[in-house]
């Protein structure tokens, strides 16, 4: 019973990591578009920012956001390539946040902390979580045929009678 709970917890962490990758990717894409098309809205002083060219920074944010978004969708689909890609991208994202530490100290520190949580979720117990997520997506697939099997009590979430 404890092993099932640990597996469910790991699955929850992997789903958390996937959702956070998608959200972080969307935020980076949004920031990238703002930096590219409306850079007067950015409040960045060049002396506090490592990268001074806002157009280049906007492209970096846009591309990294799209990559994080794709990796997050792949992690949610239980793809191993997405996990490895996400680990690399989250590490690079943490470095990018360190580069913007002078301009946005609180935001950067929060993003680095979130990156660490996502790295932990992606590196601790992927095998069982991948199997559980993959099994659920296969169970959810409908082949166009009606099923004649009756669900068991555990599948219906019916508590056992005492």
- Sequence-separated (6 or more) residues with CB below 8 Å from residue 120: 13
**pLDDT tens digit at each of 162 positions of the chain:** 455 555 566 778 888 999 999 999 999 999 889 888 876 666 566 566 666 677 888 888 899 999 999 999 999 988 889 989 999 999 999 998 888 787 788 988 999 999 999 999 888 866 666 666 665 554 444 455 555 556 555 555 555 554
What pLDDT does residue 19 have?
A: 94
Main-chain phi, psi angles of 132, to 5 degrees: -70, -40
Q: How many CB atoms lie within 10 A of CB 22?
A: 18
pLDDT of residue 157: 57
> How many Å apart are CA 37 and CA 46, to the nearest integer?
18
> What pLDDT is stored for residue 151 in this prediction?
57
Report pLDDT for 67.
96
DSSP state of 124: S
78: which DSSP letter? Answer: T
Between CA 9 and CA 86 the distance in angstroms is 20
pLDDT in the model for residue 71 = 95
Radius of gyration of the chain measured on its C-alpha atoms: 20
Angle between helices 54-76 and 80-99 (to 10 degrees): 150
| pLDDT score at 131 | 65
pTM: 0.70
Structure tokens at 155: 């599948």
For residue 142, the model assigns a pLDDT of: 44
Q: Which pLDDT score, from 0 to 100, does residue 13 have? A: 85
pLDDT at 12: 81
Residue 66 CA to residue 22 CA, distance in Å, equals: 9
């Amino acid at each position: 019973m404890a092993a099932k709970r640990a597996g469910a917890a790991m699955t929850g962490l992997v789903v958390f990591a996937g959702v956070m990758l998608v959200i972080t990717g969307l935020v980076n894409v949004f920031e990238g578009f703002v930096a590219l098309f409306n850079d007067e809205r950015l409040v960045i002083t060049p002396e506090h920012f490592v990268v001074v060219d806002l157009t280049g920074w906007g492209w970096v944010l846009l591309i990294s956001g799209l990559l994080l978004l794709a990796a997050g969708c792949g992690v949610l689909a239980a793809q191993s390539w997405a996990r490895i890609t996400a680990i690399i991208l989250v590490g690079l994202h943490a470095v990018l946040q360190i580069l913007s530490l002078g301009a946005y100290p609180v935001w950067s520190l929060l993003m680095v902390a979130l990156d660490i949580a996502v790295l932990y979720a992606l590196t601790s117990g992927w095998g069982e979580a991948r199997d559980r997520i993959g099994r659920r997506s296969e169970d959810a697939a409908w082949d166009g045929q009606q099923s004649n099997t009756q669900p068991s009590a555990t599948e219906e979430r019916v508590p056992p009678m005492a």
